[in-house]
Structure formats: C-alpha cells, structure tokens
C-alpha cells in the first residue's frame, strides 16, 4: 500500500515517517487495503492508537539517540577546546620567554623612587585646579587645554623593541616650590611630566 492509497481511503493525511509505521502495521496483518484503512479510520481494536504510540516511541528513541550523539560530540569538542587552550597557554609562555619582556621606563620619565620621595612626605597632593594653574603660569599652556593625569601607564619592552602597557601607576600632582614639584598632564594630545621645575614630553 502506498501513502496516496492510504490517504484516499481514509481521507487522513500523515507525514511520510508516520506512514512508515502505518505501513509496518499493515504488513503485519492479514487485512487487505480497504479493511486495514477502515479499521484505522474507525480505530478498531485501538489500531490507530497503537500506531500512534509506536510512532511516538520510535521518534522518542530517535531523539534520545540524537541527544546522546550530541552529548558525545559536545564532550569531544570540550576536550578539544581544553587541549587547544593548554596548547595556546604553552605557546604563549614560550613566546613570552623568547621575547624577554622587561620593565620599560622612558629616559625622561620621573622614576618611581623620585616620585616616592615627593609623595611620601606627609603632604596631600594638590587639586587639579591648582595643578592647572601652576602649569599655565610657569609654562604658558592654555588652561582650557590642560588635563591633569593622576595615573601614568606602566610599560614593558621586549628584545624586538616592542612596547606594551601592563598597568598604571598613581601619579598625583605635588607642588612644594617652583623647583620641587611633580605634575603629569596632557595638552593637545601630548603627555608631559613636570619634574622639579623642568618639563619633559612623556612618550
């Protein structure tokens, strides 16, 4: 019996995979096409119910199989990702070792020790307004174009002369005298440091 024959006799339309179950039931009986389709349509001896239950069980088994397959694949993918991460970490460490990274301080930069000598004397830092006023009065910068930087980038350099930022250090402004001070600021896209009365571009 073909799907078209079943649909013509029952006026019931089912998907192909559902008909596969119907056809198997039909083959297991001794009824002819007309008898089987009439029995199905009238649900004689729960024929239609049995077919539906069989179909549901079949689909459930198929879905369980698919889920199990996906779970297996997911475990394989997770393991592959874990292995790749381990490999990447290993290569990263090897690259870091080969590049020989070390602390980098620009030749004009105020050293950490020099800054500590100013910052650790028990006097609080000045306000941004005071620092801007000092920069403008002593070095002629336009007040409206001065930004006080209270954090300064910390860099490393490797054997290939590549530089990277690894963090930032506190650099609050201090003013004790015209020749005893520290201010880190930006103006017109350029960074500067004032170190004890002398100004340096900070690259």
| pLDDT range class, residue 107, cuts 50, 70, 90 | confident
Burial of 6 by CB count in 10 Å (0-12 exposed, 13-18 middle, 19+ buried)? Answer: buried
Residues 6+ away with beta carbon under 8 Å from 165: 153, 154, 155
**Mean pLDDT in the chain?**
93
| pLDDT range class, residue 106, cuts 50, 70, 90 | confident
The fraction of the chain above a pLDDT of 70, given in percent, is: 100
> What is the per-residue pLDDT across 115-146, written as a single tens digit (0 to 9) for each?
999 999 889 999 999 999 999 999 999 999 99
User: What average pLDDT does this structure show over 105-122?
Assistant: 88
**Residue 203 has what pLDDT?**
67
Q: Residue for token digits 């991460």?
A: 85
Domains in the chain: boundaries: 1-99, 104-201
Is-contact 146 132, C-beta < 8 A?
yes
**Residue 134 has what pLDDT?**
97
The fraction of the chain above a pLDDT of 90, given in percent, is: 88
- Who has greater pLDDT, 106 or 37? 37
| Total length of the chain | 203
Full-model pTM: 0.55
Is-contact 106 203, C-beta < 8 A?
yes
- Residue 198 CA to chain centroid, in angstroms? 44
Give the number of other CB atoms < 10 A from CB of residue 21: 20
């Amino acid at each position: 019996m073909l799907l078209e024959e079943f649909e013509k006799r029952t006026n019931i339309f089912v998907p192909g995979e559902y008909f596969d179950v119907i056809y198997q039931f039909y083959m297991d009986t001794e009824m002819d096409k007309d008898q089987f389709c009439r029995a199905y349509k009238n649900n004689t001896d729960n024929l239609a119910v049995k077919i539906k239950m069989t179909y549901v069980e079949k689909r459930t088994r198929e879905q369980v199989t698919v889920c199990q397959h996906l779970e297996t694949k997911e475990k394989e993918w997770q393991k592959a990702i874990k292995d790749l991460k381990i490999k990447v970490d290993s290569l990263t460490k090897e690259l870091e070792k080969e590049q020989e990274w070390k602390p980098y301080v620009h030749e004009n930069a105020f050293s950490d020790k020099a800054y500590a000598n100013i910052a650790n004397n028990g006097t609080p830092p000045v306000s941004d307004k005071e620092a801007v006023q000092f920069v403008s009065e002593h070095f002629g910068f336009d007040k409206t174009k001065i930004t006080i930087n209270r954090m300064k980038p910390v860099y490393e350099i490797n054997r290939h002369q590549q530089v990277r930022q690894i963090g930032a250090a506190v650099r609050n402004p201090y003013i004790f005298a015209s020749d005893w001070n520290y201010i880190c600021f930006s103006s017109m896209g350029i960074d500067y440091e004032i170190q004890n009365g002398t100004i340096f571009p900070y690259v």
